[in-house]
């Protein structure tokens, strides 16, 4: 029988938890190529940097966009973040992930001061059945490489990785994002949200590539807890371009939306 992949934290800090250098382990590698990271872990690492950037109480990240500049190799990466526009109520943040001496991911985020709008809150989707209502699935579809997919616990409410069409899945990491600390709920959300194109995989991975070039998160409240769900669907157009859109949930209900642009090509 095949051996279980050896899982490690997604990243090992090379300069301590407050430093900017990390080693990306096997647990980050995606289903497409054995030497490249799935975009979920580096997106979560960028969000970690954004959360720690001149952090102020009473603020939340309301929108984050991660641009995939190029393939993200496993191995050493560097991350840094900065405030691009200061403000009392609204700030624009930026973060960059560098591998092999070149930028491979860039992120921008709007950080907003919070206020009490609980009396007028409305429009959120109904909560989903919880992850405890469905069993975990640990198998990989044929052609899907090990790594990141094994580092997460997946519980499917609708669909599966090998089933084309819309999908809804709860997930939580089985390993820390960064060795020596617990990931924040927003970091957990990024790990799951970037799997929207996998949850709603429209085509057979053995015959088609459908790679996202970005991930955008819009959040109307901060996520809580360790379980995050994405309810995603994919549209493939006639010219090799597609889109993924999804709703994001924690155990209390919807927290926001996610979107991805896709490059679709035959293998």
pLDDT digits (tens, 9 = 90+) for 94-126: 999 999 999 999 999 999 999 999 999 999 999
Angstrom distance (rounded) from CA 108 to CA 47: 10
Angstrom distance (rounded) from CA 238 to CA 216: 23
- 79-103 in b/e burial notation, b at 16+ Cβ within 10 A? bebeeeeeeeeebebbbbbbbeeee
* Mean pLDDT of the 194-219 span: 87
pLDDT band with cut points at 50, 70 and 90 for residue 264: very high
Please, which residues bridge with residue 77 across strands?
Answer: 22
Looking at residue 139, its pLDDT comes to: 85
φ/ψ region of 16 (left if φ > 0, alpha if ψ in -120 to 50, else beta) reads left
Mean pLDDT estimate for the chain? 93
pLDDT band with cut points at 50, 70 and 90 for residue 3: low
Which SS3 state, helix, strand or coil, does residue 41 take? helix
The pTM of the full predicted model, rounded to 2 decimals, is: 0.95
Please, which residues bridge with residue 109 across strands?
Answer: 64, 93
Output the six-digit token pair for 267. Answer: 């293998």
Looking at residue 248, its pLDDT comes to: 98
Looking at residue 123, its pLDDT comes to: 94
């Amino acid at each position: 029988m095949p051996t279980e992949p050896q899982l490690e934290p997604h990243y090992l800090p090379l300069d301590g938890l407050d430093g900017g250098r990390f080693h990306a382990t096997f647990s980050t590698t995606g289903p497409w190529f054995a030497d490249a990271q799935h975009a979920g872990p580096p997106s979560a690492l960028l969000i970690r940097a954004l959360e720690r950037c001149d952090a102020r109480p009473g603020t939340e990240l309301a929108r984050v966009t991660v641009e995939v500049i190029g393939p993200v190799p496993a191995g050493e990466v560097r991350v840094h973040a900065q405030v691009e526009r200061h403000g009392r109520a609204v700030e624009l943040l930026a973060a960059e992930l560098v591998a092999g001496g070149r930028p491979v991911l860039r992120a921008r985020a709007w950080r907003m001061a919070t206020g009490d709008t609980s009396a007028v809150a409305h429009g959120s989707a109904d909560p989903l059945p919880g992850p405890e209502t469905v069993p975990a699935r640990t198998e990989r579809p044929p052609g899907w490489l090990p790594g990141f997919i094994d580092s997460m616990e997946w519980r499917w409410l609708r669909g599966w990785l090998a089933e084309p069409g819309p999908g809804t899945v709860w997930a939580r990491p089985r390993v820390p994002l960064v060795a020596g600390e617990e990931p924040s709920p927003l970091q957990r959300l990024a790990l799951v949200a970037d799997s929207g194109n996998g949850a709603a995989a429209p085509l057979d991975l053995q015959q088609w590539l459908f790679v996202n070039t970005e991930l955008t998160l819009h959040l109307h409240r901060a996520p809580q807890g360790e379980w995050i769900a994405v309810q995603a669907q994919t549209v493939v157009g006639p010219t090799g371009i597609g889109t993924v859109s999804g709703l994001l949930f924690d155990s209390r209900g919807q927290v926001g939306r996610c979107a991805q642009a896709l490059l679709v090509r035959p293998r």
